[in-house]
Amino acid sequence: MPVSFQRVYLESAGYFMPGEPIPNDRMDAYIAPLNRMSERIKRRILAENGILTRHYAIDAEGVTRHTNAQLAAGAIRDCLQRGGAELSRVSLLASGSSGGDTLMPGFANMIQGELAAQPMETHSVHGICAAGVSAIQTAAQGIELGAHRSAMAVASEMPSRLFKRSRFAARGYETDFDSHFLRWMLSDGAGALLLSDGAPALAGAPGLRLKLKWVHQRAFSGDYPVCMQLGLTEDRARGHLDFGSWAEAEAAGALSLRQDIRLLPHLFDIGIHEYAGLVRDGWVDPKRVDHFLCHYSSEKFIPVVEDLMAKADLSIPRERWWSNLAWRGNTGAASILVMLAEFLHTKSLKPGEQIFCYVPESGRFMAAYMLLEVEAVDAAPVVVAPRTAAVLDDDLVIAPPHDPDAAPEGLGALLTELAAIWHDYRSRVWRTPLIRQIRERRFAVPDYLNWMEQWVPQVREGSKWMREGAASLSEPYQMLASLIGVHAGEEQNDFNILFSDYRKAGGTVENIEELRRNPGGEALNAYLHGLAATRDPIGLLGAIYIIEGTGQRIVPALLPLLKASLKLPPDVFRFLEYHGHNDENHLSRWLTAVEMVMAVEGQARAAGQIVETARHTAALYLMQFQHITQRTPHGSNA
C-alpha cells in the first residue's frame, strides 16, 4: 500500500549536470569502444535509445573532474538557491545512489561533509533507479511524522568512471554483451528536492504550492534473478570480494557493470500490474493525470510501456508524457529528480493539476511511483475523504497473463480478479526451491530429470480431465464442449513430447507407466478430475487460465536459464519451446470460451466459479512446484 502524506510539500527543486553536453559523435573521447563488436553495439544502442547528449564528470583523459559527492552537493546548492532557502533549515538529508565515491562511510555523510553542513540526521539509500524515490520517501516520512520541518532528498550517479576504456585492459579489452550495453546508456548527474511541512509557494510559481500526496514502492527481488549488477562475475558465481585481490576480480570481470536485457520485459509487466493495482484501489486515476514523468532508460521502451498501459485500459495520453532523456541522458537514481526539477523550471502549472511519476528499477526488479498535486497557496485545508476505488467510465481491464490485444466486452471485472490471483501465484512460484535452483544456476541434469519424472504424468492427465469436463456439459454448453474438445485434442500427445525430451536428456525410466506425480501433482489431478465429473463444470476455465498462463509466462522465462545451466542438446527442450510459442494461442481461445459461458450462465455466477477454481488451481500447482525437489521413487504415489 502506498505511503500517503497530508503535510509534505515540495518547496524547490534543483539539479547539477557536470561539464558541457556531450553529443553522440563525441562519446568516443570519453567512453571509447573496446573492440569491433563494441563499435557495433554502440551504433545499435545509440540508434534506439533516443539520447542525443549527456554529461560526464570525467574529462577526455579519464580524469575525475567532479566526485559523486560534489555532484550531489551541486544539486543541493542549486535547489536551495532556486528556493531562496538556507541549508541551516535542513535537519534531515536523505541520499539515493548506486554508489558513492567510497565503499564506506555512507553517501549521505560524504555529501554532508562536502557541504560542510551543520549536524543533522542522514540516511543513505543504496540501490539503483528507485533509490532516488526511496530518498524522497525517507525525507517525506520524517516530515509527516513531525520529526523535521524541512528535509532534503538528493540522488546522484557517476557511472562514467566504470566505463573508461582503461577499466577493461585487464581482460584484453574483451568483455560480454551485458557489460558492453550499459556503457552507451548511462551518464552522470544529480538532482535534489527540498521538502517542508509548511505551505510555501513553489519556487518559480507564485501563488502555487506542490503537495506530495503519496509514494509507493514494491520490490520483487525474491521473484527474479539479478538483472543489473556490479560486483559479480558474468556467471554470478563469485563476488568481487571472493578473489585474492582487486586486480584478479577486475580481470575476471567482477567489476564490470552488467544488465541482462533478456529479463527486462518482466520488469515492465510487473510495473504495469502495480500501476493497475494503484488505479483499482483509488490511489490514481489516469483521467486526472495531467503530467506523466516516466523514467525509461531508452526511447525504445516507450511503446512497450504505452502498449502495456493500453492493454490494461489505463492509458495516459502520450501528449501528457514528459521526459528529458534526450538531452540529459539516463542518470539512474538521479533521473526522476533531475526530470522533476527541470519540468518544474520549464512548465507552467495550474491548481488541481496532478503529476504522476513512475520509476522501474532493473537491478533486481522494483517499481516506484509518486503522485504530486498543484494547489493554490490560499486554498482551504483539504478534507481527506475515505479512499475508494477509482470510478472509470469503462470497466477496469487489467491484462491477464496472456496480454490480449483487446479484452472482450464485459470481462473487465473477471480479468481484474484473475490478474491478482495470477500475480500472487507467479511471485510464489518464483520463490520455490526448484526455481531458485534454476535462477542461481545450481540446477544440474539429475535435477532436470527428476522434474520431468514428476511432470510427465501430470501433463498426461491434462487432456483427460478436459475431455471429462466437456462430457459433463449439458446441452446449452455444447459449443463450449466442442471448443474444449479441440483444445484437449491438441494437448493429448504433449506428454509424449515431454517424455521423449526426458529420455533424450538421459532419463532412465523406459516405461512411462512407472512415473508418478508428486503430492502436489496428485492433489491437483484429484481436484480437477473431481470437478470435471460434476454437472456443467465451467469453473475448469479458471484452471486452464492458470495452467496455460504458466506455460506462456513462467516456462519461457525459465528456458534460457535452463539452457545456460544444462549441457544438453537443444532438442531436449522441445516441450518447453512448444508451450512458450503456442500457449498464447490457447489463451486467446480461452477468452472465447469465457464469453460462451457468460452468455449462458450470466456474468456474476460464471465469474465466481472461474475465479474460485483459478484460486484453488494456483494453490495446488504451487504445491506441485514446491514438491519437485523432493525426489519421488518410481512406482510410488508418495
| Residue 6 Cα distances to 198, 210, 213, 292, 383, angstroms | 11, 12, 7, 22, 10
**pLDDT the model gives residue 637:** 39
- Average model confidence (pLDDT) for the chain? 87
Q: Are residues 442 and 366 in the same domain?
A: no
As a whole number, mean pLDDT of residues 16-38 equals 92
Q: Are residues 589 and 513 in the same domain?
A: yes
Q: Where does the pLDDT of residue 344 fall: very low under 50, low under 70, confident under 90, or very high at 90 and above?
A: very high
Question: What letter does residue 552 receive in the DSSP assignment?
Answer: I
Residue 231, number of CB atoms within 10 A of its CB: 18
CB within 8 Å of 136: residues ≥ 6 apart: 94, 96, 153, 193, 195, 212, 215, 337, 370
Is beta strand 228-229 parallel, antiparallel or unpaired with respect to 258-259?
Answer: antiparallel
* Domain stop point among 318, 353, 376: 376
> pLDDT tens for residues 240-259?
999 999 999 989 999 999 99
Q: What is the dihedral of CA 226, 183, 154, 131, to 10 degrees?
A: -10
Residue 228, domain CATH: 3.40.47.10
Q: Which residue has the higher pLDDT, 606 or 134?
A: 134
What's the length of the chain?
638
Instruction: Name residue 380's amino acid.
Output: A
Q: Is residue 611 part of a domain?
A: yes
Q: Where does the pLDDT of residue 632 fall: very low under 50, low under 70, confident under 90, or very high at 90 and above?
A: low
Q: What is residue 637's three-state secondary structure?
A: coil
Give the separation between CA 636 and CA 638, rounded to whole angstroms. Answer: 5
Q: Are residues 495 and 607 in the same domain?
A: yes
Q: Are residues 354 and 489 in the same domain?
A: no
Q: Which residue in 313, 258, 237, 17 sits closest to 128, CA to CA?
A: 258
Residue 561, domain CATH: 1.20.910.10
Q: Are residues 417 and 324 in the same domain?
A: no
As a whole number, mean pLDDT of residues 139-158 equals 97
Sign of CA dihedral 323, 325, 328, 334: positive
**pLDDT the model gives residue 431:** 87
Q: Are residues 108 and 56 in the same domain?
A: yes
Q: Is residue 388 part of a domain?
A: no
If you search the block for the grid coordinates 539509500, which residue do you land on? 125
Beta strand spans in 492-602 (E): none
How deeply is 457 buried, as exposed, middle or buried, from its count of CB atoms within 10 A (0-12, 13-18, 19+)?
A: buried
* Domain stop point among 376, 398, 433: 376
> pLDDT tens for residues 439-496?
888 899 999 999 999 989 988 888 899 899 999 999 988 888 888 887 777 777 788 8
As a whole number, mean pLDDT of residues 121-136 equals 98
> pLDDT tens for residues 510-519?
999 999 999 9
Give the separation between CA 251 and CA 378, rounded to whole angstroms. Answer: 62
- Cis before 386? omega within 30: no
Q: Are residues 132 and 280 in the same domain?
A: yes
Give the separation between CA 82 and CA 488, rounded to whole angstroms. Answer: 67
Q: Is residue 477 part of a domain?
A: yes
Q: Is residue 405 part of a domain?
A: no
- In this predicted structure, the answer to whether residue 635 has a pLDDT above a threshold of 50 is no
| Residue 594 Cα distances to 396, 540, 599, 606, angstroms | 17, 10, 9, 8
**pLDDT the model gives residue 380:** 47
Q: Which residue in 119, 104, 156, 158 sits closest to 135, CA to CA?
A: 156
**pLDDT the model gives residue 634:** 52
Give the separation between CA 186 and CA 541, rounded to whole angstroms. Answer: 46
Q: Is residue 145 part of a domain?
A: yes
What pTM was computed for the model? 0.77
Q: Is residue 394 part of a domain?
A: no
- Kindly state the cell numbers that stand for 431: 520463490
**pLDDT the model gives residue 181:** 85
Q: Is residue 635 part of a domain?
A: no
- In this predicted structure, the answer to whether residue 307 has a pLDDT above a threshold of 90 is no
* Domain stop point among 376, 404, 431: 376
Structurally, how many domains does the chain consist of? 2
- In this predicted structure, the answer to whether residue 586 has a pLDDT above a threshold of 80 is no
Give the separation between CA 168 and CA 586, rounded to whole angstroms. Answer: 47
CB within 8 Å of 238: residues ≥ 6 apart: 232, 252, 254
Give the separation between CA 469 and CA 532, rounded to whole angstroms. Answer: 4
Q: What is residue 54's three-state secondary structure?
A: strand
| Residue 120 Cα distances to 91, 106, 108, 327, 594, angstroms | 5, 14, 11, 35, 60
Q: Are residues 369 and 416 in the same domain?
A: no
> pLDDT tens for residues 160-198?
999 998 888 878 787 878 888 899 999 999 999 999 998
Q: Are residues 371 and 418 in the same domain?
A: no
What residue numbers bound the domain in which 122 lies? Answer: 3-376
Q: Are residues 182 and 314 in the same domain?
A: yes
Q: Is residue 299 part of a domain?
A: yes
- In this predicted structure, the answer to whether residue 218 has a pLDDT above a threshold of 90 is yes
∠ at Cα 317 (314, 320), nearest 5°?
A: 120
- In this predicted structure, the answer to whether residue 401 has a pLDDT above a threshold of 50 is no
**pLDDT the model gives residue 202:** 87
Q: Are residues 146 and 285 in the same domain?
A: yes
Q: Are residues 422 and 278 in the same domain?
A: no
- In this predicted structure, the answer to whether residue 382 has a pLDDT above a threshold of 70 is no
Q: Where does the pLDDT of residue 403 fall: very low under 50, low under 70, confident under 90, or very high at 90 and above?
A: very low
Give the separation between CA 253 and CA 238, rounded to whole angstroms. Answer: 10
- Kindly state the cell numbers that stand for 441: 544456476
- In this predicted structure, the answer to whether residue 226 has a pLDDT above a threshold of 70 is yes
- In this predicted structure, the answer to whether residue 410 has a pLDDT above a threshold of 80 is no
- In this predicted structure, the answer to whether residue 105 has a pLDDT above a threshold of 90 is yes
Is beta strand 289-294 parallel, antiparallel or unpaired with respect to 22-23?
Answer: unpaired
> pLDDT tens for residues 414-430?
887 888 888 889 888 98
CB within 8 Å of 632: residues ≥ 6 apart: 453, 454, 516, 517, 518, 638
Q: Are 336 and 297 in contact (CB under 8 A)?
A: no
